[in-house]
Chains A and B, each alone.
Chain A
Amino acid sequence: MSIDNSTVKKVALLARIEIQKNDEAALIDELNNIIGWVDELKKVNTEDIEPMLSVFNETMNMRKDNPQSNYTNELILKNSPENNAGFFVVPKVVE
């Protein structure tokens, strides 16, 4: 399955990345090369093999769910491009 123009548009939308018009053709080529290359894996016999999500084989660490207040509202907002009255500001999303 090769990646065409419409696939790139669809994936870019899913990834929320705007692709510049003049980068599109080169990107399609690169993605097709990479996907063509990883397609080699189809030759590997993986019948009855369990997928390996992590190499970590200890019990996952769960910390106690105690309320903590390490960071102030002011600190958390400090890096935001726009904030107002203690909130992050985004463009209007409801009419």
Chain B
Amino acid sequence: MTDFSSLTITSAINGLKNKEFTSQELVQFFIEKIKQNKHLNCFITHTFEQAIDMAKIADKRISAKNHRMLEGIPIGMKDLFCTNGIKTTAGSKILENFIPFYESTVSKNLWDSGAIMLGKTNMDEFAMGSANTTSFFGNVINPLKSFSNQKKDLVPGGSSGGSASAVSSGLCLGATGSDTGGSIRQPASFCGLVGLKPTYGRCSRFGMIAFASSLDQAGPIAQTVEDAALMLQCMTSFDEKDSTSSRNEIPNYLDYKNYRLKGKKIGIPKEYLIEGLNNEIKEVWDNCINWFKSEGAEIVDISLPHTESALPTYYIIAPAEASANLARYDGIRYGFRQKEKDLKDLYQKTRGLGFGKEVKRRLMIGTYVLSAGYYDAYYLKALKVRKLISKDFEEAFKICDLILTPTTPNVAFPIGEKQTDPIEMYLNDVLTVPASLAGLPAISVSSGFNKEKLPIGLQVIGKPFDEISILGAGNAIEKLRGF
């Protein structure tokens, strides 16, 4: 069998068009790779039969020169996106046997563009986690290892850990993710990939299992900026089934190729130089500032004064919204049920046994901050601070075009670490959460390595609906990083 390991989405599209190989050959190759790498636990459900059927259709369309943008390209679908007739679990026992009878808009858009689903990727339960250690279906393993300790398994990041690990280990050419506080960017950074969270409202939330509705956004995880742009193009649409779907015109994202840093103002927020930021990450950040200068960009010192408050704000708002969203899992209409004679007992036992520890912790926090007597002190307060965080960005974008920061304070860590204190796990998202609260588009691009040869990602944050500029800056990083 031909080795397709070095393919990207872009090179696979060319190979398919030039008849160097067929989509069926591609799909067969990735099916074998997935079977050989089961220990990484990237997938919750395999959809190999459907993939082969979809590949046959793709090959016919390619032969007839009737191909669509992602015709014949095998991808992974995060198990947060409802797929018609295919089990969708959100990584939870409570949805262990849930089979949707409708398709999420994002997955539908991808299939309508010719993409092929190899399976549903593993994730933190209901996307609540930063290490992919909260899934009912087990931990996902990062294919990358520390240079000096090849035996220790590292986390892939989370919550889209299955997607990131699968793309990084070459089990699929790209994958979908969802990002509430960093769940696309952080795993992309830990696995040496590109992850893009679009502006809030750019991708439809219809059929995407809800966590925190005012923050949830779908986006691509891919090997290159170009692949991410292609996937993004196919994922976005205006959707009347989502009340917060944007009507803003969708540009041609590949236009990022014409983007030049020359004359652009790049903001460097001093507040992101947090205590605990790894020195090697700081070095890569500094290197990138120099790369951007060499391209003619102007570096501007900016201040986002409420950065420090972003994480606590997020850990009030996201659990509060989750406590409302996850009220639907009652053991009546779908999902797991613990049979009881009394209805209240049924609810409590179903949810007590059906949800994992981290989900229950957040539902308790969310319920508490919304409960009588605490609503004003916590929830309302957090909404006001969110406004201040959003205003910080508005002010900053008056004097700069883009903001450059690290994606994470540290690189991928061993499985089992940061498990005793929840807050220690939450700190993984300290640099990604502010852009989420402000609804801004942000990309993470692999920009260097530490001494242990683990990847370091940098984040570029853009103005609302300016995905082209963050893709353009990401592309510049790819060209200048020297690998």
Contact = CB atoms under 8 A, between A and B. Distances in A.
B378 A3 contact: no
B332 interface: yes
A40 B311 CA distance: 10
Interface string B466-478: 0000000000000
Residue of B97, B200, B367 with most partner-chain A CB within 10 A? B367
A38 B352 contact: no
A84 to B, nearest CB: 13
B286 to A, nearest CB: 29
A17 B351 contact: yes
Interface in A38-95: 38, 40-42, 44, 46, 49-56, 58, 60-63, 70-71, 75-76, 78-82, 88, 90-91, 93
A40 B387 CA distance: 17
A58 B247 contact: yes
Contacts of B323: 15
A35 B365 contact: yes
A13 to B, nearest CB: 8
Q: By DSSP majority rule, is chain A's interface helix, strand, loop, or mixed?
A: loop
A42 B381 contact: yes
Contacts, number: 174
B346 interface: yes
B390 A33 contact: no
Given A44-B388, A55-B439, A38 B347 contact: no
B306 A55 contact: no
Interface string B368-388: 110100100110111111111
Interface of A: 1, 3, 7-8, 10-20, 23, 27, 30-31, 33-35, 37-38, 40-42, 44, 46, 49-56, 58, 60-63, 70-71, 75-76, 78-82, 88, 90-91, 93
19 contacts: A12-B348, A15-B323, A15-B351, A15-B367, A16-B327, A16-B347, A17-B348, A18-B349, A19-B360, A38-B378, A41-B316, A41-B381, A42-B377, A46-B388, A54-B214, A58-B247, A61-B247, A78-B99, A88-B333
